[in-house]
């Protein structure tokens, strides 16, 4: 876990960032710098099996390994005694929602921001692969296969595409158990949507997303029964909206929503 603190004398809050599948904290350098300049501290770590963490790469025993890790980052963020924003991109968005379903009220953040959350895959494995993964999971959970996430495919930005193609820390193989846990987690966020806490939720969704199924994101959003929710789809943008050429526009839209709702958290108490 790392912390990046703003230089502002009166910080506005703390962002906890949860990255997506295969990636790690270094891909968020621009976003972190922008948040610091906007007056926010940032807390972030690498998820189990990814980035600089120890243990088998591309493998988890249970999806709750992720939620436990994020809970620790939220706990650290709360030590600043400031409003806390939980941001999750792609699988990180799925993890963020799953974490909200697990945490007690006082442990939750004040605001939830999701970027192209992985509530269903754009190209899900066919039925034979799904059946095979269920058969292999109890006996060969660590059996690895290609993730089929081509480095750089989530953005139109040429610099990021070249960077990813030369980054050996990106996870390119995942285990049978990892896939089964991901599939069950995606099913859970839809099945348990009625248990989502009543907190402000903001979604930035790529309009030309070829990694997650944006129709599943819209469906989840439409069924979400809370007081404050906002969905913004960005036409033509690829999956990683904050790595696209239009990223400044995406960021300003997100920070506007954040500033408006954190004022309630700061002066009116924790939003539940």
Q: Which of 41, 209, 213, 261 is catalytic?
A: 209
Q: Enumerate the β-bridge partners of residue 43.
A: 3, 16
Query: pLDDT band for position 271 (50/70/90)?
Result: very low
Cα angle 230-231-235, degrees, rounded to a multiple of 5 = 150
Asked whether residue 1 carries a pLDDT value surpassing 70, the answer given is yes
Q: How far is CA 184 from CA 14, 175, 191, 192, in A?
A: 30, 14, 10, 12
Asked whether residue 266 carries a pLDDT value surpassing 70, the answer given is no
Active site residue 19: no
Which pLDDT does position 104 carry in this prediction?
83
Active site residue 209: yes
Complete domains list, the chain, with CATH: 2-268 (3.40.50.1820)
Q: What is the pLDDT of residues 128-150, one digit of tens each?
A: 677 788 888 788 889 999 988 88
Percent of the chain with pLDDT over 70: 96
Which pLDDT does position 125 carry in this prediction?
75
Tell me the C-alpha distance between 175 and 271, whole Å: 38
Cα angle 237-238-244, degrees, rounded to a multiple of 5 = 70
Taking residue 235's Cβ as centre, other Cβ atoms within 10 Å add up to 7
Q: Enumerate the β-bridge partners of residue 121.
A: 212
Query: pLDDT band for position 269 (50/70/90)?
Result: very low
Q: What is the pLDDT of residues 48-77, one digit of tens each?
A: 999 999 889 999 999 999 999 999 999 999
Tell me the C-alpha distance between 91 and 136, whole Å: 23
Q: What is the pLDDT of residues 27-46, one digit of tens each?
A: 999 999 999 999 999 999 99
Record the pTM: 0.94
Which pLDDT does position 267 carry in this prediction?
52
- Average pLDDT taken over every residue of the chain: 93
- Asked whether the beta carbons of 119 and 216 are under 8 A apart, the reply is yes
Q: What is the pLDDT of residues 221-249, one digit of tens each?
A: 999 999 999 999 999 999 999 999 999 99
User: 9 — phi, psi (to 5°)?
Assistant: -70, -25
Active site residue 261: no
Q: Which of 90, 115, 116, 204 is catalytic?
A: 90
Q: Which of 59, 89, 239, 261 is catalytic?
A: 239
Q: What is the pLDDT of residues 85-110, one digit of tens each?
A: 999 999 999 999 999 999 888 899 99
Query: Running DSSP on this structure, what letter comes out for residue 50?
Result: S
Q: Enumerate the β-bridge partners of residue 232.
A: 204
């Amino acid at each position: 876990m790392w912390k990046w603190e703003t230089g502002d004398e009166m910080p506005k809050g703390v962002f906890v960032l949860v990255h997506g599948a295969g990636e790690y904290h270094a891909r968020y350098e621009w976003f972190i710098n922008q948040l610091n300049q906007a007056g926010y501290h940032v807390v972030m770590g690498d998820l189990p099996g990814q980035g600089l963490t120890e243990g088998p790469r591309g493998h988890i025993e249970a999806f709750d390994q992720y939620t436990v890790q994020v809970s620790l980052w939220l706990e650290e963020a709360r030590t600043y005694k400031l409003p806390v924003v939980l941001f999750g991109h792609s699988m990180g968005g799925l993890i963020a929602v799953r974490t909200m379903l697990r945490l007690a009220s006082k442990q939750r953040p004040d605001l939830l921001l999701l970027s192209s959350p992985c509530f269903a895959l754009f190209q899900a494995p066919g039925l034979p692969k799904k059946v095979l993964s269920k058969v292999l999971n109890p006996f060969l959970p660590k059996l690895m296969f290609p993730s089929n996430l081509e480095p750089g495919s989530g953005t139109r930005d040429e610099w990021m595409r070249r960077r990813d193609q030369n980054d050996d820390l990106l996870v390119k193989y995942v285990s049978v158990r990892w896939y089964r846990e991901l599939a069950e987690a995606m099913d859970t966020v839809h099945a348990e949507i009625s248990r989502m806490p009543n907190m402000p939720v903001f979604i930035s969704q790529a309009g030309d997303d070829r990694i997650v199924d944006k129709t599943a994101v819209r469906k989840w959003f439409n069924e979400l029964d809370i007081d404050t929710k906002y969905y913004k789809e960005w036409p033509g943008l690829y999956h990683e909206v904050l790595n696209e050429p239009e990223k400044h526009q995406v960021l300003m839209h997100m920070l506007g929503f954040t500033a408006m709702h954190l004022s309630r958290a700061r002066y009116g108490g924790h939003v539940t």
